[in-house]
């Protein structure tokens, strides 16, 4: 940082940053610490710092921590970050401190994080490795980072599939979920007392013993609102809820009847009460009715009423997890956009979608107190689906809050390894294709 401040040609060439923009209220204080600034250092308002960084990839910005918002990518300094699940919780570990005449409103004690992954399916090769080969329920979550070592043929319509291998360190994937204060996924099917694994077909039922792996990976709650939850009948829905209750994983989006299916899962993080609601727009045969168990149908008037009811019941944060849209598409429908807007208008803070099996667009909806965030499609997380490369990959989104205000969004691309484990991809390496797909899909919905 000192070298960039001084305009070192060597460091500029090494980093690619040709200019440094700083918040004007801190410019003099930074000069006392770093010395006289070079001609490449510019003093601007916090808003102008953000705009300059957005306009040029060769510009680095320095902002007070309280001015960081989700449209800003906050970088680590000497390997230490103020945001994310691995953030420094004590400012004594932060190396870029200046004494300001304006008191800072930033405090690590108010921060908390939420990690969300996409579809989880515990059948097919996941079951073979974890159960038949006795690797255990934690095996699917045991990998670290992965690289794509090649491609093979073929998926649907002769699509190429990726071949990925684990590069470690083992446990890095689990840490990504467990280090967050809360972690959520879509459990794409039932875990009934009587289950049957199948390597093919689209009727799923999971060994309930494998649910322990979700708990051990740090997953706190699941939505069951999807088009497979009744694959083991109404009894399977109830048994799945019972097995999740027994190991302490909260659930929403399915129940003994439509009223029960619409009840939120209640969680706590950062001293706040968090309500999670799940709804399915797919597969009416799997929907709950007044008399039958199943998934909560996505009925917009009912869903918005549920959001308002959760607020009235004391929810500080409301999360909606809809199962919606079209399979194997990056684009979203007009209905999804209007439904997301309606959720936010009713009081939702986050919308985390599933069903496409591909990653999809993200969006931020401005409102007082900070933006609401929508990830329309998280893609597959742990799902042995050899349709194409896009269905083998997904994303874990980690959201950092300061109290009720969203301040950072981090996207970690993932890939299935040999159909049985999920690994993290390097965002600057093999994971860049996943992030690029999200950027392309978000051109119309996000101006970051």
CATH number for the domain including 345? 3.60.21.10
Question: For residues 389 and 405, what is the distance between their CA atoms, to the nearest angstrom?
Answer: 35
Do the beta carbons of residue 52 and residue 84 sit within 8 Å?
no
Domain end marker among 71, 106, 141: 106
Please check whether residue 446 lies inside any domain of the structure: no
DSSP string, 41-60: EEEE-HHHHHHHHHH-TTEE
Handedness of CA 117, 439, 42, 15 (dihedral sign): positive
Q: Are residues 161 and 181 in the same domain?
A: yes
Strand-pair category, 221-223 with 182-187:
parallel
Q: Are residues 218 and 97 in the same domain?
A: no
Q: Are residues 181 and 96 in the same domain?
A: no
What kind and span of H or E run contains 365?
Answer: strand 362-365
Question: For residues 303 and 319, what is the distance between their CA atoms, to the nearest angstrom?
Answer: 12
Question: For residues 357 and 390, what is the distance between their CA atoms, to the nearest angstrom?
Answer: 8
pLDDT at 414: 98
Tens digit of pLDDT at every position of the chain (448 positions): 788 899 888 988 999 999 999 988 888 888 888 899 999 999 999 899 999 998 999 999 999 898 999 999 999 988 899 999 989 888 888 888 877 666 778 888 999 999 999 999 999 999 999 999 999 999 999 999 999 999 999 998 899 999 999 999 999 999 999 999 999 999 999 999 999 998 888 999 999 999 999 999 999 999 999 999 999 999 999 999 999 999 999 999 999 999 999 999 999 999 999 999 999 999 999 999 999 999 999 999 999 999 999 999 999 999 999 999 999 999 999 999 999 999 999 999 999 999 999 999 999 999 998 999 999 999 999 999 999 999 999 999 999 999 999 999 999 999 999 999 999 999 999 999 999 999 999 999 998 8
Residues 6+ apart with CB under 8 A from 80: 88, 93, 94, 95
Q: Are residues 129 and 95 in the same domain?
A: no
Do the beta carbons of residue 279 and residue 253 sit within 8 Å?
yes
pLDDT at 29: 84
Strand segments, DSSP code E, in 262-361 are 265-269, 272-280, 294-295, 317-323, 350-352
Please check whether residue 425 lies inside any domain of the structure: yes
Nearest to 118 by CA among 302, 390, 404: 390
Q: Are residues 95 and 207 in the same domain?
A: no
Collapse the DSSP code of 312 into the 3-class scheme (helix H, G, I; strand E, B; otherwise coil) and give the result.
helix
Do the beta carbons of residue 173 and residue 398 sit within 8 Å?
no
Nearest to 115 by CA among 381, 432, 435: 381
Please check whether residue 447 lies inside any domain of the structure: no
Nearest to 192 by CA among 226, 227, 243: 243
Please check whether residue 266 lies inside any domain of the structure: yes
Q: Using alpha carbons only, give the angle 168, 182, 353 rounded to the nearest 5 degrees.
A: 90
**Residue 342: alpha-carbon gap to chain centroid:** 21
Q: Are residues 399 and 284 in the same domain?
A: yes
Please check whether residue 87 lies inside any domain of the structure: yes
Question: For residues 377 and 333, what is the distance between their CA atoms, to the nearest angstrom?
Answer: 12
Both tokens of 419, joined, read: 């159909």
Domain end marker among 88, 106, 124: 106
Q: Are residues 90 and 167 in the same domain?
A: no
Do the beta carbons of residue 115 and residue 177 sit within 8 Å?
yes
Q: Are residues 431 and 302 in the same domain?
A: yes
Q: Are residues 287 and 359 in the same domain?
A: yes
Domain end marker among 106, 135, 153: 106
Nearest to 140 by CA among 207, 227, 224, 230: 207
Q: Are residues 181 and 245 in the same domain?
A: yes
Question: For residues 173 and 185, what is the distance between their CA atoms, to the nearest angstrom?
Answer: 14
Handedness of CA 153, 154, 160, 165 (dihedral sign): negative
Question: For residues 373 and 319, what is the distance between their CA atoms, to the nearest angstrom?
Answer: 10
Dihedrals phi, psi of 247, to nearest 5 degrees: -110, 10
pLDDT at 101: 61
pLDDT at 11: 87
Q: 189-211 as b/e, with b when 16 or more CB fall inside 10 Å?
A: bbbbeebebeeeeeebbbbbbbb
Range of the domain at 34: 2-106
CA dihedral 377, 382, 387, 392 (to 10 degrees): 80
Please check whether residue 15 lies inside any domain of the structure: yes
What kind and span of H or E run contains 405?
Answer: strand 405-417
Please check whether residue 51 lies inside any domain of the structure: yes
Cis omega (within 30 of 0) on the bond before 154? yes
Count of domains observed in the chain? 2
Q: Are residues 181 and 324 in the same domain?
A: yes
pLDDT at 92: 84
Nearest to 351 by CA among 126, 229, 362: 362
pLDDT at 301: 98
What kind and span of H or E run contains 399?
Answer: strand 393-402
Facing residues of 221 across strands? 184, 250
Q: Are residues 174 and 227 in the same domain?
A: yes
Neighbours of 436 (CB within 10 A): 11
pLDDT at 98: 75
């Amino acid at each position: 940082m000192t070298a960039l401040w001084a305009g070192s040609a060597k460091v500029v060439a090494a980093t690619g940053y040709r200019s440094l923009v700083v918040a004007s209220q801190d410019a003099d204080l930074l000069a006392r610490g770093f010395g006289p600034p070079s001609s490449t250092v510019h003093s601007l308002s916090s808003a102008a710092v953000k705009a300059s960084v957005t306009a040029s990839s060769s510009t680095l910005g320095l902002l007070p921590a309280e001015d960081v918002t989700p449209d800003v990518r906050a970088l680590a300094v000497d390997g230490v970050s103020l945001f994310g699940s691995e953030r420094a919780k004590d400012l004594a570990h932060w190396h870029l401190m200046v004494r300001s005449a304006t008191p800072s409103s930033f405090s690590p004690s108010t921060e908390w994080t939420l990690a969300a992954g996409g579809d989880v399916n515990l059948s097919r090769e996941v079951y073979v490795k974890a159960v038949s080969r006795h690797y255990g329920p934690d095996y699917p979550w045991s990998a670290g980072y992965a690289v794509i070592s090649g491609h093979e043929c073929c998926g649907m319509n002769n699509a190429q599939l990726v071949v990925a291998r684990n590069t470690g360190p083992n446990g890095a994937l689990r840490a990504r979920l467990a280090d967050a204060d809360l972690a959520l996924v879509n459990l794409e099917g039932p875990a009934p007392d009587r289950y049957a694994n199948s390597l093919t077909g689209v009727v799923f039922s999971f060994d309930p013993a494998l649910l322990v792996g979700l708990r051990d990976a740090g997953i706190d709650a699941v939505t069951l609102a999807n088009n497979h939850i009744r694959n083991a009948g109404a009894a399977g829905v109830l048994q799945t809820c019972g097995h999740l209750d027994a190991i302490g994983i909260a659930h929403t989006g399915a129940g003994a009847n439509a009223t029960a299916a619409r009840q939120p899962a209640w969680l706590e993080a950062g001293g706040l009460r968090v309500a999670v609601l799940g709804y399915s727009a797919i597969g009416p045969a799997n929907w709950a009715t007044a008399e039958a168990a199943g998934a909560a149908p996505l009925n917009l008037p009912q869903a918005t009423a549920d959001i308002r009811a959760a607020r009235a019941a004391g929810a500080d944060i409301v999360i909606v997890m809809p199962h919606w849209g079209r399979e194997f598409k990056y684009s979203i429908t007009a209905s999804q956009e209007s439904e997301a807007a309606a959720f936010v208008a009713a009081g939702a803070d986050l919308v985390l979608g599933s069903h496409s099996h591909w990653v999809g667009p993200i969006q931020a909806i401005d409102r007082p107190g900070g933006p609401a965030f929508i990830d329309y499609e998280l893609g597959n997380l742990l799902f042995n689906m050899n349709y194409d490369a896009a269905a083998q990959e997904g994303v874990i989104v980690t959201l950092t809050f300061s109290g009720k205000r969203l301040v950072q969004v981090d996207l970690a691309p993932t890939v299935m390894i040999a159909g049985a484990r999920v690994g993290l991809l390097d965002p600057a390496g093999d994971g860049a294709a996943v992030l690029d797909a999200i950027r392309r899909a978000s051109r119309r919905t996000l101006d970051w």
